[in-house]
Amino acid sequence: MSLIDEVCARMREAARVAKLDPDAFALLSKAERELDVEIPLHLDDGSLRMFEGYRVQWNDARGPFKGGLRYHPKVDMHEVEGLAALMMVKCAVVGIAFGGAKGGIRVDPKSLSKDELERLTRGLVRALGDDVGPTKDVPAPDVGTTAEMMDWFADEYGKMVGRLEPAVVTGKTIGHGGSEGRDVATGAGVFIVYDALKRHLAIDPETATVAVQGYGNVGREVARQFDHHGYKVIAVSDSHGGIHREEGLDLAALAAHKEATGSVRDFPGAQNITQQELLTLPCGILVPSALESQITASNAVYVEAKVVLEAANGPITAEADMLLAKDGVVVVPDVLANAGGVVVSGFEWTQNRENVRWSREEVLDRLAATMKTAAEDVWSYSQKHATTLRIAAYALALERVTAAEKERGRLR
């Protein structure tokens, strides 16, 4: 199944658990708007190339549409649909006043120069036009996009409307209205959620081992958080492959190695492994923080972790989810575990709208409080309804969005 099919299947099961009215499910299981735009780009050599861009606005009952912009050669409408639906669920799970959206451009950002990426980003803003705005749809960075690109986005939007509107996009650099703490928010949030649930998961910090697939900004921060709190990080991987050391990895030395070589591979004292080998290592906690559909029906039966924390969006397929549950593996779902990024994006939006700036400490304190509450809400729901954490998170979110739809009169 495609990502959107899997998300809708999970929503359907959650609707059953929540005893949702069929009209409510029909409304929440379809996007409100799908935008498919063509973006002309003059390359540095003077030639013209067309790029396809997407924006799916799923639901805005609880607030403006919210979701990242992904620059990746495999981006398509089905992927963006699934990610937009996930964003609706995610924002409702953590209780922030946003709806769900997602967007992107089908492009390999590494194939373009910085100037070309800037022109492409500004072209996307012009193509989206009035369909984005601080009270309508607020994008953010995602795979393949950066804080600097969000600066370009906000600047181009300001030119369009004739005034400075930093709240049109989040994830900007600090100097252009970005929030303190945004750089670590997603990874820190993953650990905060785990820490709030650990007493229910029978994990001993002194003996538990951690494996992290994906060593970008999120994966590095997740590993750092676990290491800082006394856990042994035994394996990590990036796009080039992975490494494993049963005695634990020296993360400071690893950071220097990756900076020098561009990869975690060939780290002294560690064994090189593949991405797939990392996913099936015996460990206490497995953290997929790369792309979608990494754990599937073909490898789920070999997963030996006790707990899987989904730091990536959609890293486990629906069929694999069922196999893991059958084997007693606890999965903390993406819509809860990796929501720290959108939570702090919401903080950035608030700061921009109110023309205030919060300290890093204040942001991270607010993040911790928000994520802990969400984790406890989802755990309680799962226990009350005897269901998995994923279905509990979806059901809780659908109940909250349904209540908002009733308040605005679209449901009875």
Going by the annotation, the residues of the binding site are 66, 90, 186, 217, 345
- Report the alpha-carbon distance of residue 387 to residue 103 in Å, rounded: 31
Place of tokens 């990024």: 341
| CATH for 3-165 (3.40.50.10860, 1.10.10.10, 3.40.50.10540, 1.10.645.10) | 3.40.50.10860
- pLDDT of 8-67, one tens digit each? 999 999 999 999 999 999 999 999 999 999 999 999 999 999 999 999 999 999 999 999
372: pLDDT strictly greater than 90: yes
- Report the Cα–Cα distance between both ends of the chain, in Å, rounded: 33
What's 185-332's CATH class?
Answer: alpha beta
pLDDT digits (tens, 9 = 90+) for 99-142: 999 999 999 999 999 999 999 999 999 999 999 999 999 999 99
Task: Return the percentage of the chain with pLDDT > 70, whole number.
Answer: 100
Mean per-residue pLDDT for 141-149?
94
- Whole-number Å distance between alpha carbons of 160 and 218: 33
Sorted by where each begins, the domain ranges of the chain are 3-165, 185-332
**CA–CA separation, 81 vs 76, rounded Å?**
9
Instruction: Say what the pTM is.
Output: 0.94
Q: Active-site residue among 19, 30, 74, 102?
A: 102
Residues 6+ positions from 174 with CB-CB distance below 8 Å = 180
- Measured in whole angstroms, how far is the alpha carbon of residue 96 from the centre of its chain? 15
> How far is residue 281's CA from residue 355's CA, in Å, rounded to a whole number?
48
Average pLDDT, whole number, for the chain? 95
Residue 204 has pLDDT above 90, yes or no: no
Tokens of 11: 């929503």
**Residue 216 confidence (pLDDT):** 87
pLDDT value, residue 220: 95
| H helix runs in 167-261, sequence order | 185-201, 217-228, 251-261
User: Is the pLDDT score of 205 beyond 80?
Assistant: no
Output the pLDDT for position 126. 98
Nearest-angstrom CA–CA distance, 151 and 71 = 16
| Within this chain, domains 3-165 and 185-332 share the same CATH topology | yes
Q: Please enumerate, by residue number, every residue annotated as part of a binding site for substrate.
A: 66, 90, 345
Is residue 114 among the annotated active site residues? no
pLDDT at 299 over 80: yes
DSSP state for residue 202 in the 8-state scheme: T
pLDDT at residue 412 is higher than 90:
no
